[in-house]
Amino acid sequence: MSVLIYVELDNGSIKKTSLEAVAYGAKVAEKTGGQAVVLALGKADNAELEKAGQYGAAKVLHAADAKLEHENSLAYADALVQAAAQEGSKIIILSKSGLGDAMAARAAAKLKAGIVSGVTALPETDGGFKVTRSIFTGKAFATTEIKSDIKVLVVRKNAVEIDEATLSGGNAAVEAFQPALRDSDFTASVVSVEKADSELSLTEAEIIVSGGRGMKGPEHWQPLIDLAKALGAATGCSKPVSDLDWRPHHEHIGQTGIKVAPNLYIACGISGAIQHLAGVNGSKCIVVINKDPEAPFFKAADYGIVGDVFEILPKLTEAAKSLK
Amino acid sequence: MKILVCITNVPDTTAKISFTDNDTKLNKNGVQFIIGPYDDYALARGVELKEQSGGNLTVLHVGEADAEPQIRKALAIGADDAIRVNADPQDSYFVAAQIAHIASQNSYDLILMGRESIDYNSGVVHGLVGEMLGIPSYSPVMKLDLEGTNATITREIDGGKEVLKAPLPLVLGCQEPIAEWKIPNMRGIMTARTKPLNVVEPVSVDDMTVPQTYQLPAPKGACKMIPASEAETLIKLLQTEAKVL
């Protein structure tokens, strides 16, 4: 019995969150006695796909059909179900994202499988298959038993610890895979795609520097961007900032925006409303810079500096530059 | 134009979450319940589209009777009628199966709901419903316009957005800025009292997943304060102490 893991590609590279899903799937395979098989859809080099082996995959199924080049959750879900049938997979794993959830949902309905999204740790397999997941936007966790024969898991970032030093170094064999594509999955036409190519994606970023109303206006963002650059970080913002159009909507982090779980989250001029905290409470380390010592965000922070962000940010940028 | 809007009944975003009965149930004591914020966006856009094109908007909730004030609110905002599937749902699959069952008996052109509920955050019900009905599903939708039997959808993707044109019927998971939230007016509240709210029993669905227990996260340690005059020392601490650089 195999474990099937879907990996998302970004310009031909496997996304970091997906490599984590591979490592997670390999551990599940080890526990349940089977092998980890990876599915990749769209253009990618074999050399890139083989990398999944270092994270524990035994082989990679690769469907390079040109029709799968553009992200299409309907066709992707069909391909995922066909791959699961070919491999006899009873456990299917995806990484948490809009695409991951959409594919997982459609595949679960096709397979009449139990689905749990937002999984935060490896499953317990003694006496039933139990997983823990994040609920109430990180304010709590739930342990759930999956009873169905086939199980679909959508895993969050940091659900499994990866030690880059102990990666096996083995490469996975890549096999061509040709799913039967249905016209009914291609009824929508893509009118346009807008993607900020140069920007680091927030859900993938290990470090995020984020600004709130304390940044006083879009024209004052440069010091924050400078620090982000020096740290190799992505930039985010609070809801008021995106509501005021100071920053684009896709940077909005919080309960009704993007939920992030970086290693380091640096909040500049964000007071820390409960809705914002809900979007960042998966972060490993939180730094808060605010001129108000009473800002509620300090209660959720690991490190805090009370002061003027415009004086503090350049100092941090300097120190970060001298780090390298 | 027949529109179905599915709403969740969830604790307010500022609610303090705790559990009772040996951590097997949410403690509802003192918790204010609201229409899911994302569902509220879906409802607002649904009402606008209904008003533009004429037609009927049904609001659907899968849950217990304590959600009725929220269902009445949806009627006051502009839904024509409501259905409540009388159940205490345990997972997304169950909820989706109920929605798909209701939808299969009525041919809706559009099935709208929030991108996710803010209690369980799964974001999978729209996909499940779409597949159960054999029609496309898209999420998260930030803009929705109709032209005859086609919809133009702006969808958020990783680091950007995508515009799609797709024929109806569709299942869509919605988020801001698809529409502004609507606040019911007095006339809406009065008429909502007499609009039909039909309570139906659920169809039976195999148990796919069963919740066992709930836990709260471990409390956070104290925040280490660094004087502003020594701000640059933070970077060193992040490297050597927190080990995140």
pLDDT tens column, A165-183? 667 768 899 999 999 999 9
Report residue A322: phi and psi, to 5°: -75, -10
Q: Sort residue B87 into left (φ over 0), alpha (ψ -120 to 50) or beta.
A: beta
A264-268 vs B170-174, strand pairing mode: unpaired
Interface of A with B in 194-253 (CB under 8 A): 194-196, 199, 201-203, 207, 231, 249-250
Cα–Cα distance between B228 and B11 in angstroms, integer? 39
CA–chain centroid gap for A235, Å, is 16
From chain A, the residues in CB contact with B242 under 8 A are 264, 284-285, 302-303
Which among A118, A190, A303 is the nearest to B226, CB-wise?
A: A303
CA angle (A170, A171, A177) in 5-degree steps? 150
| Residues on chain B touching A110 (C-beta within 8 angstroms) | 131
The answer to whether residue A198 scores a pLDDT higher than 70 is no
Option in A106, A143, A256 nearest B131 (CB): A106
Residue B91 has a pLDDT of: 93
Q: What is the ipTM of this complex?
A: 0.91
Q: Please report which confidence band the pLDDT of residue A197 belongs to, taking 50, 70 and 90 as the band edges.
A: low
Exposure string for B170-201, b = 16+ CB within 10 A, e = fewer = bbbbbbbebbeebebeeebeeebeebebeeee
pTM of structure = 0.88
Residues 245..304 of A with a Cβ closer than 8 Å to B: which? 249-250, 255-256, 259, 263-264, 274-275, 278, 281, 284-285, 287-288, 298-304
CB contact under 8 A, A97 and B158: yes
Decide if A101 touches B, using CB distance below 8 A. Answer: yes
| Confidence tier at A161 by pLDDT (50, 70, 90) | confident
pLDDT digits (tens, 9 = 90+) for A84-94: 999 999 999 99
Residue B236 tokens read as 């060193």
Beta bridge partners of B151: B146, B166
Instruction: Give A140-157 pLDDT, tens digit per residue.
Output: 999 999 999 999 999 998
Q: Which DSSP letter does residue A231 get?
A: H
Q: Which of residues 1-40 of A touch B (CB under 8 A)?
A: 10
Q: Encode pLDDT of A55-77 as tens digits.
A: 999 999 999 999 999 999 999 99
Q: Per-residue pLDDT averaged across A202-210, rounded?
A: 90
Give the tens place of pLDDT for each residue, A254-302: 988 888 989 999 999 999 998 899 899 889 899 999 999 999 999 999 9
Asked if B222 has any chain A CB less than 8 Å from its own CB, the reply is: no
Which of B71, B63, B182, B197 minimizes the C-alpha distance to B119? B63
CA distance B19 to B119: 13
Residues 150-209 of B with CB under 8 A from A: 152-153, 156-167, 175-177, 206-209
Model pLDDT, residue A323:
80
Region class of A205: left (phi > 0), else alpha (psi between -120 and 50), else beta: beta
**Cis peptide, bond prior to residue B140, ω within 30 of zero:** yes
Q: What is the pLDDT of residue B58?
A: 97
Tell me if A319 and B235 make a contact (CB, 8 A cut-off). yes
- B63-101 as b/e, with b when 16 or more CB fall inside 10 Å? beeebbebbbbbbbbbbbebbbbebebebbbbbbbbbbb
Q: What is the pLDDT of residues A293-314, one digit of tens each?
A: 999 999 999 999 999 999 999 9
User: CA of A307 to nearest chain B CA: how many angstroms apart?
Assistant: 6
Q: What is the pLDDT of residue A11?
A: 87
Task: Please name the member of B19, B118, B237 whose beta carbon is closest to the beta carbon of A255.
Answer: B118
Note whether B136 contacts A299, CB cutoff 8 Å.
Answer: no
* B210 and A CB contact within 8 Å: yes
Q: Of B125 and A324, which is predicted with more confidence?
A: B125
Which of these, A148, A48, A131, A221, lies nearest to B213 by C-alpha position?
A131
Minimal Cα distance from A232: which residue of B? B245
Pairing of β B25-26 and β B19-20: antiparallel
CA A39 to chain B, closest CA, distance in angstroms equals 20
Average confidence score pLDDT of chain A: 92
Q: Is A138 on the interface with B (CB under 8 A)?
A: yes
Q: Which of A7, A111, A136 to mutate to test the interface with B (most CBs of B within 10 A)?
A: A136
Q: How confident is the model at residue A324 (pLDDT cuts 50, 70, 90)?
A: low
Question: CA-based angle B160:A82:A71, to the nearest 5?
Answer: 10
DSSP structure string for B193-242 = TTS-EEEEPPPP----EEEEEEEPPPPP-PPEE--GGGTTHHHHHHHHTS
Asked whether the predicted pLDDT for residue A106 surpasses 60, the reply is yes
Give the SS3 label for residue B35.
Answer: strand
Whether B215 contacts A284, CB under 8 Å: no
**Residue A169: per-residue pLDDT:** 65
* Residue B59 C-beta-side C-alpha neighbours within 13 Å: 34
Which tokens sit at A262?
């970086």
Residues of chain B with pLDDT under 70: none
**What's the CA gap between A318 and B8, in Å, rounded?**
48
Which two structure tokens, joined as six digits, stand for A33?
């006695």
Rounded CA-CA distance A172/A167 in Å is: 13
Interface test with B, best of A201, A263, A302, A306 (most B CBs within 10 A): A302
Residues 6+ apart with CB under 8 A from B87: B62, B63, B64, B94, B98, B201, B202
Q: Which of A145, A146, A301 sits opposite B223 (nearest CB)?
A: A301
Considering just the CA atoms, what is the radius of gyration of chain A in Å? 21
- Spatial strand order of the sheet with A285-290 comes to A234-237, A207-211, A264-268, A285-290, A303-306, B224-225
Q: Does A54 touch chain B (CB under 8 A)?
A: no
Residue A116 forms contact with B (CB below 8 Å): yes
Q: Which of B19, B38, B228 is closest, CB to CB, to A305?
A: B228
Q: Do B131 and A77 touch (CB under 8 A)?
A: yes
Strand partners, A105: none
Region of residue A157 (left: phi > 0; alpha: psi -120 to 50; beta: else):
beta
Chain A residues whose CB is inside 8 A of the B121 CB are: 117-118, 134-137, 259
Which residues in chain A are contacts of B92 at CB distance < 8 A? 105, 115, 117
Contact B215, A296 (CB under 8 A): no
